[in-house]
Amino acid sequence: MVSKPWLQPAPSYHPLESYWDTEDDAPGPRCAHTLTAYYVGSNNSIQGACVQNVLDSMVLALLRDKNRKFIYVEQAFFQRWWRDQSEETKTIVKVLVSSGQLELINRGWCMHDEAAPHYIDMIDQTTYRHKFIKQQFNVTPRIGWQIDPFGHSAVQAYLLGAEVGFDSLFFGRIDYQDRAKRKGDKSLEVIWRASKSLGSSSQIFAGAFPENYEPPSGFYFEVNDDSDIVQDDVNLFDYNVQERVNDFVAAAVSQANITRTNHVMWTMGTDFKYQYAESWFRNLDKLIHYVNKDGRVNALYSTPSIYTDAKYAETDSWPLKEEDYFPYASDINAYWTGYFTSRPGLKGYVRMLSGYYLAARQLEVLKGRNKAGPTTDSLGDALGIAQHHDAVSGTSQQQVADDYAKRLAIGHKEAEVVAAESLAGMVSSKSGQGSSATHFQQCPLLNISYCPPTDADLSSGKKLVVVVYRKLSGKDVVFEYPMTEA
């Protein structure tokens, strides 16, 4: 969850953006819940989280005041919620998106990791969901939002940033020493020229947050948070408007001192907040009103797009950043590099199915897509969420890793049917023999040298026909299959 403000003494611009970033991980031991548990709010003994409550609550809160704004990220949650909504609610949400009150940013199936995935998987999980947003809302994403992955790659900046058409890219995790230095010389926000070959043609405005992606200390307004609310009723005890205004201005000025230009962003939210959105918006409404009345800082609800436009309008020069933001260390002796190789079985499974998905989609096109099924969609969805920064990274707990693998296996099984039916049709049409009902068996367990069709006893004169489909052309490849000795 995150929002942004800006800052500076009066006529400076200090946008306060309120939106929630949906991640299927928890701030404690990495990713303790499954995707479904986070969405429906089950197993809350591990982590109090219910994404559908956030979305339901957010819509109602935005309708109460047209000045309020909210951003949403992961489409794996949003589209699940969208399917369950009435036509009336969908119409309301479309109006909120069109008016700019609700901004859908990044818009991938998830917020993918940037070290472990293959770049094709990163592209697929991002662009597949962009298509849905375009079809439903007729909007094109402008902002990259990678606030929680553990370090950031040059590929993300130029290929899935500038080349995708984003105007800016924001993130939260960079090396603690790098962050400290950038605060000192006001270089948290940069022009990121990540590709040596493409040069300035693929650079992008990029910004790292001063302190990860949390609100300033003392400005958490979930119903069970311990920050002081804004109590502005003089007829009640604990009236604290001036105290809260002073806290706000102090935090704004502190961030202004490490930021170029008069515009400062605050990320007003974090993981699984806004489950009762009105609790946040009520306090933010009051803060914006009384801070602006005070006059030292100008505060307003904003979005990453509004903030980016304000930065583009400035005449200040920006530091140039090249290459990547790896490795990431959160503290001394705390380098987040073990995940480059952790859970190798899951990493290998994702990579193998990524190649299979590409082949199955090609065969699906050749066969002709059957909307009634089977299709490759289930595998595409599973691969999309598997690129999450707590999935293929290997940083989830065991029950969550099992859930990712289960989703992949279910998707793989359906895609196998698509591939088999397409191959049968192709062989039938070219040979003039047989029929499209020809059944092709596949060998998904070759990693353990197990393939029942090739292990069959052929001594009685049975024939074994092997059909190989190569999804890419290029150099010769050796295919190996285990066989029973005759």
Cα–Cα distance, 394 to 400 (Å, whole number): 10
Summarize pLDDT for 210-242 with one digit per residue, the tens: 998 999 999 999 988 999 999 999 999 999 999
Q: Are residues 145 and 216 in the same domain?
A: yes
Residues 68/281, Cβ–Cβ less than 8 Å: yes
Written as six digits, the tokens of 50 are 């219910």
Q: Which residues pair with 415 in a beta bridge?
A: none
First to last CA, the chain: 62
Is residue 8 one of the residues assigned to a domain? no
Quickly count: other Cβ atoms within 10 Å of residue 183's Cβ.
17
Quickly count: other Cβ atoms within 10 Å of residue 370's Cβ.
11
Is residue 458 one of the residues assigned to a domain? no
Query: Which of these three, 302, 337, 372, is where a domain ends?
Result: 337
* pLDDT for 428 beyond 90: no
Q: Are residues 282 and 370 in the same domain?
A: no
* pLDDT for 430 beyond 70: no
Q: Are residues 303 and 382 in the same domain?
A: no
Q: Is 303 exposed, middle or buried (0-12, 13-18, 19+ CB in 10 A)?
A: buried
Residues 120/358, Cβ–Cβ less than 8 Å: yes
Is residue 456 one of the residues assigned to a domain? no
Main-chain phi, psi angles of 411, to 5 degrees: -65, -40
Written as six digits, the tokens of 90 are 């969908």
How many C-alpha atoms does 339 have within 13 Å on its Cβ side? 26
Q: Using CA of residue 76, residue 77, residue 78, residue 83, what is the dihedral sign?
A: positive
Q: Are residues 350 and 299 in the same domain?
A: no
Is residue 378 one of the residues assigned to a domain? yes
* pLDDT for 4 beyond 60: no
Q: Are residues 328 and 350 in the same domain?
A: no
Cα–Cα distance, 156 to 122 (Å, whole number): 9
Q: Are residues 408 and 330 in the same domain?
A: no
pLDDT-based confidence at residue 470 (cuts at 50, 70, 90):
confident
Quote the pLDDT of residue 174.
97
Q: Are residues 285 and 388 in the same domain?
A: no
Quickly count: other Cβ atoms within 10 Å of residue 100's Cβ.
14
* pLDDT for 25 beyond 90: no
Summarize pLDDT for 270-321 with one digit per residue, the tens: 888 899 999 999 999 999 999 999 999 999 999 999 999 999 999 889 999 9
Q: Is 219 exposed, middle or buried (0-12, 13-18, 19+ CB in 10 A)?
A: buried
Q: Provide the whole-model pTM.
A: 0.89
Q: Are residues 369 and 307 in the same domain?
A: no
Q: Which of 163, 267, 253, 247 is CA-nearest to residue 207?
A: 267
Is residue 167 one of the residues assigned to a domain? yes
Quote the pLDDT of residue 71.
94
Quote the pLDDT of residue 17.
36
Cα–Cα distance, 29 to 42 (Å, whole number): 17
* Size of the chain, expressed as the number of residues it contains: 486
Is residue 112 one of the residues assigned to a domain? yes
For residue 160, give every residue at least 6 positions away whose Cβ sits within 8 Å of its Cβ, in sequence order, or none: 122, 123, 126, 144, 166
Quote the pLDDT of residue 1.
34
Cα–Cα distance, 481 to 441 (Å, whole number): 13
**Helix, coil or strand: residue 348:** helix
pLDDT-based confidence at residue 3 (cuts at 50, 70, 90):
very low
Is residue 20 one of the residues assigned to a domain? no
Average pLDDT over residues 8-13: 31
| Backbone dihedral region for residue 326 (phi beyond 0: left; psi -120 to 50: alpha; all else: beta) | beta
pLDDT-based confidence at residue 7 (cuts at 50, 70, 90):
very low
Percent of the chain whose predicted confidence (pLDDT) is above 90: 69
| Backbone dihedral region for residue 310 (phi beyond 0: left; psi -120 to 50: alpha; all else: beta) | alpha
Strands 320-322 and 189-193: parallel
Q: Which residues pair with 144 in a beta bridge?
A: 169
**Inter-helix orientation angle 51-64/75-83, to 10°:** 80
Percent of the chain whose predicted confidence (pLDDT) is above 70: 91
Any idea what DSSP says for residue 207? E
Main-chain phi, psi angles of 131, to 5 degrees: -65, -45
Query: Which of these three, 283, 309, 337, is where a domain ends?
Result: 337
Give me the amino acid identity at 435.
S
Summarize pLDDT for 92-128 with one digit per residue, the tens: 999 999 999 999 999 899 999 999 999 999 999 998 8
* CATH, residue 285: 3.20.110.10
Q: Are residues 107 and 146 in the same domain?
A: yes
Written as six digits, the tokens of 423 are 């191959």
Instruction: Work out how many domains the chain is built from and give that number.
Output: 2
Q: Are residues 293 and 421 in the same domain?
A: no
Is residue 24 one of the residues assigned to a domain? no
Summarize pLDDT for 182-219 with one digit per residue, the tens: 999 999 999 999 999 999 999 999 999 999 899 999 99
Residue span of the structural domain in which 362 resides = 341-429
Q: Are residues 349 and 296 in the same domain?
A: no
* pLDDT for 148 beyond 50: yes
Cα–Cα distance, 183 to 209 (Å, whole number): 10
Q: Is 8 exposed, middle or buried (0-12, 13-18, 19+ CB in 10 A)?
A: buried
Summarize pLDDT for 37-96 with one digit per residue, the tens: 888 888 777 677 889 999 999 999 999 999 999 999 989 999 999 999 999 999 999 999
* pLDDT for 10 beyond 50: no
Quote the pLDDT of residue 206.
98
* CA distances to 1, 4, 170, 317, 414 from 252, in Å: 19, 11, 19, 22, 53
* pLDDT for 347 beyond 90: yes
Q: Using CA of residue 278, residue 284, residue 288, residue 293, what is the dihedral sign?
A: positive
Q: Are residues 250 and 352 in the same domain?
A: no
* CATH, residue 404: 1.20.1270.50
For residue 478, give every residue at least 6 positions away whose Cβ sits within 8 Å of its Cβ, in sequence order, or none: none
Q: Which of 266, 275, 247 is CA-nearest to residue 207?
A: 266
Q: Which of 14-28, 148-162, 237-251, 396-410 has the lowest mean pLDDT?
A: 14-28
